[in-house]
Chains A and B, each alone.
Chain A
Amino acid sequence: MPLIELHNVGKNYENDGVVTPALAGVTLNIEEGEFVALMGPSGSGKSTLMHILGFLDHLTEGEYRFKGEDVSNLEKDALAMHRRKDVGFVFQFFNLLAKSSVLENVMLPLIYAEVPKAERIKLATKALESVGLGHRLKHLSNQLSGGERQRVAIARAIVHNPAVIFADEPTGNLDTKSGEAILKIFHDLHKAGHTIIMVTHELEAAENAERIVKIRDGKVISDTKNHQRRFGAYHK
């Protein structure tokens, strides 16, 4: 059973009676452990697709099954429950709490998941160590460089061991060197078995994924295996 099954999914935005379609007829399956890049120019609908997959938004047509469960028509609170349990997000602009410490930032999802404090510290420390920031736990997030901030954001996305990690242009706001380091971390996470869905319009970033789904005008225009992975092919 695929982790994610989309069947004929559509999304329309309605504003003052004017209906604007953002997605139409998207059918897509994603298996557990896959590293998928969603590519497309801005306005193509790739972000909308990620929001629907990541339980941030509702679809208006079609069906979405997550781990076999129909999640097409969930209430807002039910979506929130899926977000706290099943997914982790990495954003282009990091979205860290500036005046909070690195550790506090990473512990945030665990607060809503009602994990006891001692356990929170343990899990967050472990997640930060895995992205190479074990020595920066007490720093405030606004004392870090861009690359380090994004690593904190990745630690926050994996701290509760979600089923899928969503990354929205994770290197879009970083210099080349920091961006490379971040892509390497995603590569390693994938190697460790995580399912990753990355939205990007940069080919270089997409080349890390093992599968590239191209989207234009709200439709999937190509869905191909990537045979030239930049950090080298490997077998699970």
Chain B
Amino acid sequence: MRFFDLIATSAESLRRNKSRSFLTILGVVIGIAAIIIVMALGKGAQNLILSEVQSIGSKTIAVAPGRHPNGLSDMAAIFTDSLKQRDVELLQKKENVPHLAAIMPLVFGSQAASFENNSYRPTIYGVTPLFSEIYDTYPEQGEMFTDDDVKNQNSVLVIGSKIKEELFGDNDAVGQKIKISNQSYRVVGVLGKKGQSSFVNFDEAIIMPYTVAQKQIFGIKYLNRLVVQADDEVNVAQTVEDITITLREAHGITDPEKDDFFVETQEQAMETVSSITDILTLFLVAMAAISLLVGGIGIMNIMLVSVTERTREIGLRKAVGATYSEILSQFLTEAVMLTVFGGLIGIVSGLVVSTLAAWVLGQFVAGWEPQLPLNGVFLGFGVATIIGLTFGIYPARHAAKLDPIEALRYE
């Protein structure tokens, strides 16, 4: 039998049973569509998070206390107090870290803030004026506090746009005094509306000198983070190494396994985010694959019914000279055509649904872009073909093995 005739014969058989063929492939359609949707949305979420990481800037290096967590049970390692003011001074020295352009200590935490009868619980960031440059966030009204404010521990702060609304409404905030933990702080600036960026919602944040936050608000002597900027992207790796050497020496660490700090670059953060979202997506794809398995079994079932129904036809085909492999190929081709066609419908409907979902999500989450998961499309086609072959082989062998005499007599 010629290849084209094989295709034509199989297509003809499917065409004769249109509605059954369609119902048979529904399982595959849904399964493939689910995979496409999960992959598209997974990629959308990943890109969104990655773009936030990227907004920190590729020259930025973060130093955090504790070890890089090696798993959930290791999370406690993050909460240590190993980073001190002395470390900042050591890192600032040119001979220790030559490519360091700027360093900003960071402490953060949550604390209630009030003005007259209004109160709100913002996240408080203790930083230096470098903050504006690193996060590209500047006051819209008033001004940023100064290095002198940091040095002299002046009780001043800059508030996010949402805090301003909650505490002051339409009234002017600059020059007013906010109460946090029974201490008064003068508002010197109000940040412009910015929303979520680099994992920080600046609209709901209060920014103040870290020296003040450490001493008066959190009552701590250590730092939560050191944010370092290298002078050039090409020097990031060197700078990471210099920081590591300097801090190990300062903390008296000889065994790298016992580091009480870890240094993370934007690149590493992006890798971490990618691997987490990849695992999540893979997990969801595996769930969707279960419906494909069920769909495949459905196809096998219907193909077996079809073989039984067409026993006489198979007998006739054998009587006019069809060989074992020709009957096998015909039924296998029918199964693969069914699943590939189902896969095609699944891919198209998956793309439509995921685009719609991305559009809806985009209305709520700024920066959510629709994604075309090309690997999902190829995966869909591949999986559909494999399902056709896997679940088609048993019914096809069943058909090919029929004895022509008995098949012709079958009632």
Q: How many A-B residue pairs have CB under 8 A?
A: 57
CB atoms of B405 and A51 under 8 A apart: yes
Asked if B321 is at the interface (CB within 8 A of a chain A CB), the reply is: yes
Contact of A156 among B12, B312, B313, B320 (CB under 8 A): B320
Does B319 contact A89, Cβ atoms closer than 8 Å?
A: yes
**What number of B residues sit within 8 Å (CB to CB) of A?**
23
Min CB distance, B265 to chain A, in Å? 65
- Does any Cβ of B come within 8 Å of A233's Cβ? no
Are B316 and A95 closer than 8 Å at their CB atoms?
yes
Query: Which of B1-9, B209-217, B358-366 makes up part of the contact surface?
Result: B1-9
Q: Tell whether, in the assembled complex, residue A84 and residue B320 are in contact, meaning their CB atoms are under 8 Å apart.
A: yes
- Closest Cβ–Cβ distance, residue A21 to chain B (whole Å): 17
With A and B bound together, what is the CA distance between A224 and B254 in angstroms?
111
Q: Binding site of A, secondary structure by majority: helix, strand, loop or mixed?
A: helix
Instruction: Verify if B93 is at the interface (C-beta below 8 Å from A).
Output: no
Question: Are A108 and B320 interface neighbours, CB within 8 A?
Answer: yes
Interface size for A (C-beta < 8 A) is: 23
Known contacts being A83-B320, A85-B321, A97-B313, is A56 close to B404, with CB within 8 Å? yes
Are the C-beta atoms of A77 and B316 separated by less than 8 Å? no
CB pair B317 A112 closer than 8 Å: yes
A84–B321 contact, CB under 8 A? Answer: yes
**A99 to B69 Cα, complex, angstroms:** 68
Taking CB atoms, residues of chain B closer than 8 Å to A81 are 321, 323
A6 shortest CB reach to chain B, Å: 18
Question: In the complex, what residues of A have CB within 8 A of residue B16's CB?
Answer: 99
Residue of B9, B316, B318, B404 touching A111 (CB-CB under 8 A): B9
Which residues of chain B come closer than 8 Å to A89, judged between CB atoms? 319-320
Measured between beta carbons, the chain A residues less than 8 angstroms from B325 are 77
Which of A85, A95, A100, A114 has the largest number of chain B CB atoms within 10 A? A95
User: Is A45 in the interface zone, CB < 8 Å from B?
Assistant: no
Find out whether the CB atom of B324 lies under 8 angstroms from the CB atom of A113. no
* Contact between A56 and B405, CB atoms less than 8 A apart: yes
State whether the Cβ of B408 lies closer than 8 Å to any Cβ in chain A. Answer: yes
A57 contacts chain B at the CB level, 8 A cutoff:
yes
Q: Contact: A112 with B319, CB < 8 Å?
A: no
Can you name the residue of chain A whose Cβ is closest to the Cβ of B313?
A97
Contact with A along B7-19 (1 / 0, CB 8 A): 0010010001000
**Bound Cα distance from A113 to B1, whole angstroms:** 7
Question: What are 7 A-to-B residue pairs whose CB atoms are below 8 Å?
Answer: A81-B323, A84-B321, A95-B408, A99-B16, A108-B316, A108-B317, A111-B1
Residues of B whose CB lies within 8 Å of any CB of A are 1-2, 5, 9, 12, 16, 312-313, 315-326, 404-405, 408
